[in-house]
Structure 1
Amino acid sequence: MIALRPTDADDPVALREALARALDGGPALGFGMLDGAPERVPDGTAAVIATSGSSGIPKRVVLSGEALRSSAEATASRIGSGRWLLALPATYVAGLQVLVRSVVAGTEPAVLEGRFSAETFAQTTLSMLRTGEERLYTSLVPAQLATLLDAADSIPVRAALQAYRAILVGGQALPEPLRDRAGELGARLVRTYGSSETSGGCVYDGEPLDTVAVRSVDGELHIAGPMLADGYLGDEELTARSFTRDEHGIRWYRTGDLGLVEDGIVRVHGRADNVIVSGGINISLDRVERIVRRVPGLSGAVVVGVADERWGEASVIVAARGEALRRSESEQLAHARDAVAEELGRHARPARLILVDELDVLTSGKPDRESIRRAVSELR
């Protein structure tokens, strides 16, 4: 057993040094730890991450040094190695992996100071370029990318977007309009899929990294590889349900995501548990949301489920007023409903569109779906 050191990651430079020691068997680091965390954890543990809990109760994911290194090395093999910009909280796996990749590459990451903005992103990126480093990488969530694209009329912001060999975008589905806009500006995006349980992204642009295997079992995606977490701290039952071994002894993580693997390409359809039953028909809110986000003006929208007197449950679109709406609210809803009906059927059409000043988000930048859902429920 080794010591577990809780940390709030206020100082990324000191955190990188502590992480380097943790990867080599030193004290393990605890991120976003819940009350009652033990003082010691199993040998080999490098980090314990409390998941964001955007749609449920946070879990404490145990990651070994081997798992974190394996993930970083597989990423370098796919996209190359260089200097990284930390633009996400290091308390989340995507931010933590920026530091791990820096340790593995032997480079010092640049750190975005203060609240994320297009101006600070551009300033930090251009300062990195002035050092002569040409192999730049960063990791963002879609909301951050949207902020940069909205400010891309600025020459420094546009230059910063174009400076990176790869901008990893994950944490949630990447809306097609954002991807298209980024491509038109010359930004090199890589869509990532993964979780804390897989040490971060392990599928890039639909293709598993070289050391990763993905399969679909009864419609649920399972993942295998050296980057898998050891399990959940203090929850053997959940660990046993989520991590299983097949008849060949291969260990698989049950993601809880619905999807297919076709010709080696992973297609994620959404969370198995993010489903409502409306009029007796199961509807995936993730699939509805992906379609809604293709509608102009709704690229950052969130779709949540609420109780409905007639249908049992119904879906509601929640979007920020700041998005450019060229139609009235009723016309925008009609456009979204038509798009969903065309692809999924009339039964899946959202019931309402609610505009808010600002969407609630977690510190990771992901939408706080539970907070949004509760707010919508109180309005009805």
Structure 2
Amino acid sequence: MTALEVVPVDGSPRAVARLADALGAALDGTGPAVAPVAGPGAVPAGEPAPGTAVVIATSGSTGLPKHVMLTTAALTASARATERHLGGPARWLLALPAEHVAGVQVIVRALLAGAPPVVQDLHDGFRPAEFAAATARLTGEAAGARRCTSLVPTQVLRILDAGGPPLDALCGYDAVLVGGAALDAGLRARAEAAGVAVVATYGMSETAGGCVYDGIPLDGVRVRLDADERILLGGPTLAAGYLGRPDETAAAFTDGWFRTGDLGRWDGTRLTVLGRADDMIVTGGKKIAPAAVERALAAQPGVGAACVVGLPDPQWGEVVGAALVLTGPSDLERLRAAVRADLGRAAVPRRVRVVPELPLRGVGKPDRAAVRALLTAEKGDTNSEDADAPNR
């Protein structure tokens, strides 16, 4: 079939149930490809590639969203590889928006395992107490079965902060996939200390969701770095391209590889994602990866979350700026010293602002443009002694 069925989703279980029915038909070939859409978002004109089951919008982090064509083969390969990696079939809780690839894949994994997911109602947003209630429903339906869910880091943080029944619920899962945004070491350590079975995932719409788990590629997934340390991904989970955008498809998908916008490095056999190439900060001629600075900051006591961006500077070209969410008392000079010790003087944040929460976009991704505007408009703490000058 070549038709495309647009399925509106609003976070409610009823809407997800309609999407799950449509996805099931698309996967078994009895229904058209499905495009889950939140709100009035439009799907561009065009005929999906043969075998397409889902057309999903990208997050639009580098411009206007594109619509990715995911085939039944790619979705199935991803779901089965996840199943093998996690130790077998499981019952799933959907606590993510169903219009994003991570939410779609929870539905696909659940359908392939034999039952639709239990759905947390997100119509009015994510609430830890409702996560606990949805988990209780899953437990009642899936007695004796393995249980899994997929979250973004912000959701994990909110559940940890809530404690009580929501945290007890989270600790009861056999695996909690965490993706959509970088998972900092401090948050992971806190979750694992509480008893959460964290699995950090890396991937995107073009790879049918997460395809590298805890730095290890899933079965069949190929990873390599080009001369500029750009991450290239290959294997059976790759999309068929972008709907109605043949030129962009040809530029991004070449010889069986998808060229991501991310930089990475190999730490032994594990892939470490350094962040987006477009986010790289060049200060005094030195290249600084924001993700590395964020990890150094978030590893310090009292720091709940960090977002690092480059800010224009007439002397150095750019300087490092940071927005921080604090969970307790924290000395900014101690934080700067920790970054200096880990990454060198050039990486030390010259401008810091403490905020109650980071601005987000999409599925829990930090909104770097909003953070940059925030730090540019209100300089916050501007202690920039000579010892912290980027090139000294």
Could you state the TM-score of these two structures normalised by the residue count of structure 1? 0.91
Name the counterpart of 1:357: 356
Name the counterpart of 1:116: 126
Alpha-carbon contact 1:56-1:370 (below 8 Å) kept: no
Of 97, 101, 104, the match for 2:109: 101
Name the counterpart of 2:21: 17
Alpha-carbon contact 2:47-2:244 (below 8 Å) kept: no
Name the counterpart of 2:284: 279
Moved more, 366-375 or 100-109: 366-375
Distance (whole Å) between structure 2 residues aligned to residue 275 and residue 39 of structure 1: 35
Aligned residues: 367
Distance (whole Å) between structure 2 residues aligned to residue 302 and residue 193 of structure 1: 18
Distance (whole Å) between structure 2 residues aligned to residue 256 and residue 46 of structure 1: 25
Moved more, 290-299 or 171-180: 290-299
Name the counterpart of 1:248: none
Name the counterpart of 2:234: 224
Q: How does 1:172-191 map to 2 (within 5 A)?
A: 172-191=181-200
Shift of 1:38: 1.0
Distance (whole Å) between structure 2 residues aligned to residue 36 and residue 87 of structure 1: 24
Shift of 1:128: 1.8
Residue 169 (1) aligns with residue 186 (2)? no
Distance (whole Å) between structure 2 residues aligned to residue 48 and residue 290 of structure 1: 34
Moved more, 359-368 or 168-177: 359-368
Shift of 1:363: 4.3
Residue 297 (1) aligns with residue 302 (2)? yes
Of 51, 76, 87, the match for 2:83: 76
Name the counterpart of 2:32: 27
Alpha-carbon contact 1:83-1:137 (below 8 Å) kept: yes
Of 120, 127, 130, the match for 2:137: 127
Cα displacement string for residues 306-346 of structure 1 (whole angstroms, at most 9, x for unaligned residues): 212332212211134xx32313xxx22x2222122112210
Name the counterpart of 2:383: none
Shift of 1:210: 1.1
Of 194, 213, 217, the match for 2:222: 213
Alpha-carbon contact 1:143-1:300 (below 8 Å) kept: no
Residue 58 (1) aligns with residue 65 (2)? yes
Moved more, 14-23 or 282-291: 282-291
AA aligned to 1:9 is V
Could you state the TM-score of these two structures normalised by the residue count of structure 2? 0.88
Distance (whole Å) between structure 1 residues aligned to residue 151 and residue 43 of structure 2: 31
CA RMSD of aligned residues (A): 1.9
Can you give the 5+ residue segments of structure 1 that lack an aligned partner in the other structure? 246-250
Percent identity of the aligned residues?
45
Shift of 1:177: 1.6
Q: Quickly say closer, same or farther: Cα 1:253–1:5, change in 2 above 3 A.
A: same
SS at 1:268 equivalent: strand
Distance (whole Å) between structure 2 residues aligned to residue 281 and residue 171 of structure 1: 28
Distance (whole Å) between structure 1 residues aligned to residue 7 and residue 369 of structure 2: 26
Q: Quickly say closer, same or farther: Cα 1:258–1:363, change in 2 above 3 A.
A: closer
Q: Structure 1 residue runs of 4+, over 6 Å off?
A: none
Name the counterpart of 2:56: 49
Name the counterpart of 1:196: 205
SS at 1:300 equivalent: strand
